[in-house]
């Protein structure tokens, strides 16, 4: 675990130097996630959210609707699909992203259960709403089939200043791991 945390710190410093707008030393005021940095920075945000508070974060993701299997509460998120090394272990993969808070219109999720790039892609700009995570219970999948077993995915909340539909998403990948 110590090696993993050290790797996360090294990754954060590297990303800070490569992708953030730096005003003093390595004190970024904004993070612009790209195809190359999305997974590493997003994973680091999930483990060390306090480092990203009050920072502008912008990225491309698709809208995703998830309903808590116990409470029935529905959440709209902005996510990318990733390996099950992060999030739940409810199959071979999961999602990484945020629960979205936005006062404007949010494109309705589409094809979210299909392994296709044809999703409701958006470019979002905003900030973390806090460091507390929301536990969302979901039904686990086995061989692509839902089971009665429940697992938990944790999401941070993200307060968007803007949510813009992306018409040409040909350069974006719904599944990210590196």
In order along its 178 residues, the chain shows pLDDT tens digits of 555 444 444 444 444 444 444 334 465 789 999 999 998 999 899 999 999 999 999 999 999 999 999 999 999 999 998 865 655 555 556 788 999 999 999 999 999 878 889 999 999 999 999 999 999 998 887 777 888 888 888 999 999 999 999 999 999 988 787 6
The pTM for the full model equals 0.80
Picking from 136, 153, 21, 150, the residue whose alpha carbon sits closest to that of residue 73 is 136
Asked if residues 148 and 140 have their Cβ atoms less than 8 Å apart, the reply is no
- The encoded tokens of residue 108 equal 């309705």
Cα separation, 50 vs 67, in Å, equals 26
Cα separation, 95 vs 100, in Å, equals 14
């Amino acid at each position: 675990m110590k090696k993993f945390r050290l790797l996360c710190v090294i990754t954060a410093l590297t990303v800070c130097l490569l992708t953030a707008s730096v005003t003093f030393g390595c004190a970024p005021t904004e993070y612009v996630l790209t195809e190359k940095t999305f997974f590493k920075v997003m994973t680091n945000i999930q483990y060390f959210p306090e480092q990203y508070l009050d920072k502008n974060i912008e990225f491309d993701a698709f809208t995703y609707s998830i309903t808590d299997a116990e409470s029935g509460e529905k959440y709209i998120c902005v996510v990318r699909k990733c390996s099950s090394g992060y999030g739940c272990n409810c199959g071979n993969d999961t999602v990484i992203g945020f629960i979205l808070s936005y006062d404007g219109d949010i494109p309705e999720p589409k094809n979210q259960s299909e392994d296709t790039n044809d999703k409701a892609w958006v470019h979002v700009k905003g900030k973390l709403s806090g460091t507390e995570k929301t536990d969302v219970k979901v039904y686990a999948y086995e061989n692509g089939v839902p089971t009665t077993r429940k697992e938990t995915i944790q999401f941070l909340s993200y307060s968007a200043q803007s949510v813009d539909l992306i018409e040409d998403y040909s350069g974006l990948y719904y599944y990210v791991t590196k």
